Amino acid sequence: MSPELSSRLRQLPPYLFAELDEMKRKKLEEGVRVIDFGVGDPDLPTPKHIVDAMKKAVEKEENQKYPSYEGMLEFRRAVADFYARRKGVELNAEKEVIALIGSKEGIAHLPFAFVNDGDYVLVPDPGYPVYASSTILAGGKPYEVALKAENSFLPDLSSISSDVARKAKIMFLNYPNNPTTAVAEKEFIKEAIDFCMDYNIILAHDAAYSEIAFDYRPLSFLEVDGAFEVTIEFNSLSKTYNMTGWRIGFAVGNPEILAGLLKVKTNVDSGVFQAVQEAGIAALRGSDDVIDKTNSIYRIRRDILVKGLKNIGLDVDYPKATFYVWCRVPDGYDSISFARKLLDDAGVLVTPGVGFGQHGEGFVRFALTRDVEVIEEALKRMEGLSF
């Protein structure tokens, strides 16, 4: 039997991080000790109090059964408390919060709730690949909106024609931004909210990096007037609490949008394991010192890496947020050829910007998920390279 993939699946490009894994595998087979700055998976451990909460929760018999689809009320209350404490946003835990099996799951399912065949979804370019791939799987058409350096990697909403906007059902935005590390201030957020209200578009904000910042407090879009009319905000415990493998996140915002997403989820999954939710409660209600400590570590790494890259002669800025560094490639290279040079000549793996979309061309992304000694070794390897 040779089953044929669906036309929608055949439209998907190869998943970026799978290709990076293959590049790394080949080098390892050659005996190269690769320093991997590719995938954004925190190297720091999950805080002990969260692990301890999980150990206790997994033994409870009530947690060994099917969970609720929308998430434990106590978990949703913990999310609401977190938003009140960190963002000054008041949420109704029963109507304005749902649990997710990681924010990626919720983002991927959202188009299935609201997109019909041929509808547009506005996706940032460069951007997290799931925005476009989930749109295609739902039968929609991704409409790329460029994020350009000259506009501080914010989309120019005026460049979107009214014909396109009227056919759009969702606009995905992501600030602090992966991969560019850009941040959005209240003026732009209000502009995005007003744009979506004018055209009856769902504003889907991916806030996965909302707590990873340096001398800067990233805004929740829900802090801005009018946001609850059109906005669903996705967040995750993955980056904030080093819980990528735990697969737990949440969505907050407009109740009707959440209800649509939840209807999809009730048909395709059975909710988040309750023991993981109890661990999530321990995370969200724990001391914010955990977040501050993590950010202090990333700040040190950021400073060392950016200073070293500048000394080598590369064009790079200090990011205000995220645990990434977005670096312009030297003249004479595109993002793939430069990434290959770093891997072939220095054993350093970075992510080509074009993997996030055509407007990511000309950049590579470093993840700050390696300790100081490894960063310093990578810089030393790169010092002798000629660009």
Helices (H) and strands (E) in the chain, counts: 14, 13
Provide the mean pLDDT of the chain: 95
What confidence score (pLDDT) does residue 239 get? 96
3-state class of 315 per DSSP? strand
Q: Where are the alpha helices (DSSP H) in the chain?
A: 7-11, 16-29, 48-58, 73-87, 103-114, 130-137, 162-167, 186-199, 227-230, 255-268, 274-284, 289-312, 335-346, 372-383
User: What does the block give as tokens for 171?
Assistant: 């606009």
Scored b (16 or more CB within 10 A) or e, 73-96 reads eebbbbbbebbeebbebebebeeb
| pLDDT tier at 176, thresholds 50, 70, 90 | very high
The closest of 226, 176, 185 to 206, measured between CA atoms, is 176
For range 4-20, the mean pLDDT: 81
The closest of 107, 23, 35 to 308, measured between CA atoms, is 35
For range 138-160, the mean pLDDT: 97
What confidence score (pLDDT) does residue 25 get? 87
Residue 292 has pLDDT above 70, yes or no: yes
What confidence score (pLDDT) does residue 16 get? 66
Hunting for tokens 């929760």 — which residue is that?
57
Amino acid occupying residue 361:
E
Q: What are the residue ranges spanned by the domains of the chain? A: 7-45+289-383, 49-284
Q: How far apart are CA 23 and CA 13, in angstroms?
A: 17
With contact defined as beta carbons under 8 Å apart, do 78 and 280 qualify? Answer: yes
The hierarchical CATH code for the domain 7-45+289-383 is: 3.90.1150.10
Compute the Cα dihedral for 153, 145, 193, 171 and give only its sign: negative
- The pTM is what? 0.96
* Packing angle of the helix pair 73-87, 274-284 (nearest 10 deg): 20
What confidence score (pLDDT) does residue 235 get? 98
For range 186-196, the mean pLDDT: 98
Reported CATH class of domain 49-284: alpha beta
What confidence score (pLDDT) does residue 27 get? 85
Residue 19 has pLDDT above 80, yes or no: no
Amino acid occupying residue 258:
L
Q: Which conformational region is residue 333 in: left (phi greater than 0), alpha (psi within -120 to 50 degrees), or beta?
A: beta
Amino acid occupying residue 226:
G
What confidence score (pLDDT) does residue 310 get? 97
> 94-129, pLDDT tens digit by residue?
999 999 999 999 999 999 999 999 999 999 999 999
Q: How far apart are CA 222 and CA 327, in angstroms?
A: 31
What confidence score (pLDDT) does residue 20 get? 73
Q: What is the 3-state secondary structure (H, E, C) of 235-249?
A: EECCCCCCCHHHCCE
Report the DSSP pairing between strands 324-328 and 202-206: unpaired
